[in-house]
Structure 1
Amino acid sequence: MTTRASSPVYIQDCGFHSAMGSEHQHIHQCLLGERASNMVRDDDILNTQRSTYVGQVAESLPPLPESLCTYNTRNNRLALSALMQIEPSVKRAIEQYGKQRVAVVVGTSTSGISDGEMAIAHKGQHGKFPDHFHYSQQELGNSSDFVARYFGIEGPCYSISTACSSSGRVFISAKQLLESGIVDAVIVGGVDTACKLTLNGFNGLEALSDQLCRPFDAQRNGINIGESAAFILLSRQPTEIALLGVGDSSDAHHISAPHPEGNGAEQAMSKALKDAGLTPNDIGYINAHGTATPLNDSMESKAIYRLFGQSVPVSSTKPLTGHTLGAASATEAAIAWHLLKYDLPLPKQHCQDKATDIDVSLVESLAKLEGKAILSNSFAFGGNNISLIFGYTHD
């Protein structure tokens, strides 16, 4: 039975830049398997004698305005490359509502750490930090502050950092800000760039793969990390595509491992369905968290199967982008928007040998979305789980 839905929050525009590129044509070609994304082997980033694959942004990034030179980090330049894609829409919202009535909520887990790493290396060699470096560039709030300063926004502005669910929680915050009437529009998104701290941390957890990641495969052995920026403008002004529902949970099973039965994942998906007023039959595709670690893929499969059986096609797009950490939810929200906006076929799961512990129906052939909505999962350390539902606002 369909439950009572909360009011949808409408997507006005979307900007996106990842290892798939930033041009819509390139993104679509990658999603269709017609073009390889920039998943590259890196032999130098790890402190051990190992190689790994990283989803790198290949294109040059735009310079920041001189007035914002104190925010000049790779993370903010990557953010700007996505923000410029939605800049006309943001400016219209500011003109319509006023700069005090627009909010900024950004998810990140690295902020400017990669620049901090280079600054420390510079100090070791030259005895001082570079003149352009300031410790504030590494602060998590630096990302949201930059976005607000760039657009001259004076509404609520903050960053969220809950590891790999960071940019999923921004959608929950934005929905609450809009429903409360505090603001009329919100720029939400996530941005993370590759840095040695994060990659070596995951390597220390033995979660990093030395090959291209293989979600749901019998031979899966870990994640690839990627960098990405994805920003979406939300408001109550009706459009064709909306954030229909949100769900979260915190199972707190273990600091770095998910609950083996996927209890928290199931709870987050159930809450998102309830919030959207939808049933499992309304979901036409699930973009899984699908990290390609043995524990995550197994528990997520169990949780999806309990709710949806094998009726809904599932795939993970992390082989195309890498796991973009704090930007993962926003990255996959942007992918969902592209699928809906341009009526693209569902991304295939190129699974050479589907694991026996995976019970869900994977997207293994060319197929279009059946159903009005896409559910996207993001799960983080500590059992911090987020499920988002995006879909059409017409039947």
Structure 2
Amino acid sequence: MPSINILDYSVRSAQGNLNQTLDAMQKAEVKISSKNISIDGSEIAIPFFTFKEEVAQNQQSVKEAIKSLIEGIVGTLDKEKRASTALIVGTSLVDFNLMQAVKESIEQKSQDSFISQKNSIDSFAKELADEFGLNEYTMTISTACTSSANALLEASNLINSSVVDYAIVVGLEIFSPIMSSGFYSMSLLSQSSPQPFDVKRDGIVLGEAISAILLGRDTSKWSLLGGYSNCNSATITSVSQSGEECVEVMQKALEYTHLDAKDITALKAHGTGSDSNDLAEINAISKVFDNPLIFTALKPYVGHTI
């Protein structure tokens, strides 16, 4: 079966576009800002990787942010290719109207009965697909930290099944007071900066980012061979410290892509910076790979973008 290739991409992080992000990483000039969250009626500032130009917490702003990112990619496709291009979004964001209702309930404010306006992130995907002349097949996947990874796998499945010939996969995250407060309440947030796998690590720094990848079978030097996803954890926030759940996922990914552990030359770890997750990953990597392996994490540069 012909490989599924990465044909185009676009990135917007707290450091800027892809080139600006890479430049900040190379020069060690990564900038971390802050956001305020409400905890028990008090405003608390937390470290946060924020966009240089704010994306407001409303439906229209998020839609426009997605549109501005993918229009360059869409512009490379002719009318026929667009008609066979699915739009898949991976995000932890939900209906903003629902988020507001939950927030008011937590703060015990009087509120009107919640009525869903059916204007979620998936509504944006459908609207943008129609606007750009893409295939009517759209999907939004929200599985917390694995949202975008699962979106990539689902896009690959759609192309392999000949449902579409191409897929634009979008990963999206903006500041969410409710989500940030949740991480804070579980004592998972760093008080300074993310330092995954470091002895001084003290937790996560959340962040904003939008990225998009165009997948298809046209010739390219980059391919998506496949992967594996599983929902099996020891707690609501982490796997067991032995890393057995991570071992299973990596071994299955290697099996499904017909690769051996010795074929892997580099690995991008989840690297949240929390004690339990980092320990689980280190243990899992040591169990799957016999030889020393180069691995890295991106969260010190762009934050934990869910």
TM band (smaller chain): 0.7 to 0.9
Q: What pairs up with 1:142-291 in 2 under 5 angstroms?
A: 142-291=123-272
- CA separation of 1:177 and 1:144: change in aligned 2, threshold 3 A: same
The separation in 1 between residues aligned to 2:100 and 2:27, in whole angstroms, is 35
Q: 1:8 touches 1:243 (CA, 8 Å); kept in 2?
A: yes
Aligned to 1:385: none
Q: Using structure 2 for the length normalisation, give the TM-score.
A: 0.86
Report the counterpart of residue 80 of structure 1 in structure 2.
67
Stretches of structure 2 that go unaligned for 5 or more consecutive residues are none
The answer to whether the aligner puts 1:59 opposite 2:53 as a matched pair is yes
- Is 1:106 aligned to 2:89, yes or no? yes
- After superposition, what is the alpha-carbon deviation per residue over 1:215-250, rounded to whole angstroms, capped at 9, x for unaligned? 111121211111111111111122111112212222
Describe the shift of the 1:226–1:105 C-alpha distance in structure 2 as closer, same or farther (beyond 3 A).
same
Cα RMSD for the two superposed structures: 3.0
Which stretch of structure 1 is more off in the superposition, 107-116 or 47-56? 107-116
Q: Which residue of 2 aligns with 1:45?
A: 37
SS in 2 for 1:291: coil
* 1:136 corresponding residue in structure 2: 118
Aligned to 1:15: 10
Partners of 2:183 and 2:189 within 8 A in 1: yes
Q: How does 1:340-355 map to 2 (within 5 A)?
A: none
- Using the alignment, how far apart are the partners of 2:191 and 2:28 within structure 1? 24
Percent of aligned pairs sharing the same letter: 26
1:321 Cα deviation (Å)? 0.9
In 1, Cα distance between equivalents of 2:223 and 2:6: 5
Tell me the equivalent position of 1:339: none
Q: CA deviation at 1:144?
A: 2.4
CA distance in 2: counterparts of 1:192 and 1:143, whole angstroms: 14
1:21–1:59: 8 Å Cα contact kept in structure 2? no
- 1:31 aligned onto 2:25: yes
Conserved 8 A contact 2:55-2:174: no
Q: 2:284 aligns with which of 291, 297, 303?
A: 303
Aligned residues: 298
The answer (yes or no) to whether the contact 2:6–2:224 under 8 Å persists in 1 is: yes
Give the C-alpha shift of residue 179 in structure 1. Answer: 0.9
Name the CA distance, whole Å, in 2 between partners of 1:307 and 1:7. 28
Contact residue 186 and residue 234 of structure 1 kept, 8 A: yes
Given that 2:13 and 2:302 are in contact with CA atoms closer than 8 Å, whether structure 1 keeps it comes out as yes
Q: 1:154 to 1:25 in 2, by over 3 A?
A: closer
1:41-65 CA distances to partner (integer Å, 9 max, x unpaired)? 33x2242554311111103669xxx
C-alpha change, 1:149 and 1:278, in structure 2 (3 Å) is: same
Is the 2:70–2:212 contact (alpha carbons within 8 Å) kept by the matching residues of 1? yes
Change in CA separation of 1:269 and 1:147 when aligned onto 2, cut-off 3 Å: farther
Q: SS of the counterpart of 2:224?
A: strand
User: Are 1:314 and 2:295 matched, yes or no?
Assistant: yes
Q: Secondary structure at the match of 1:269?
A: helix
Bigger drift between 188-197 and 150-159 goes to 150-159
**Could you tell me which amino acid in structure 2 is paired with residue 200 of structure 1?**
S
| Letter paired with 1:230 | S
What is the distance in 1 between the residues matched to 2:28 and 2:247? Answer: 34
TM-score by length of 1: 0.68
Residues 232-286 of structure 1 deviation map (CA, whole Å, 9 limit, x = unaligned) = 1111122111112212222243222212211121111112222222222322221
The question of whether the paired residues in 1 share the 8 Å contact of 2:49 and 2:303 is answered with: yes
1:113 aligned partner, one-letter code: F
Deviation for aligned residue 1:155: 3.2
Q: Are the structure 2 counterparts of residues 86 and 31 from structure 1 closer, same or farther at C-alpha, using a change threshold of 3 Å? A: farther
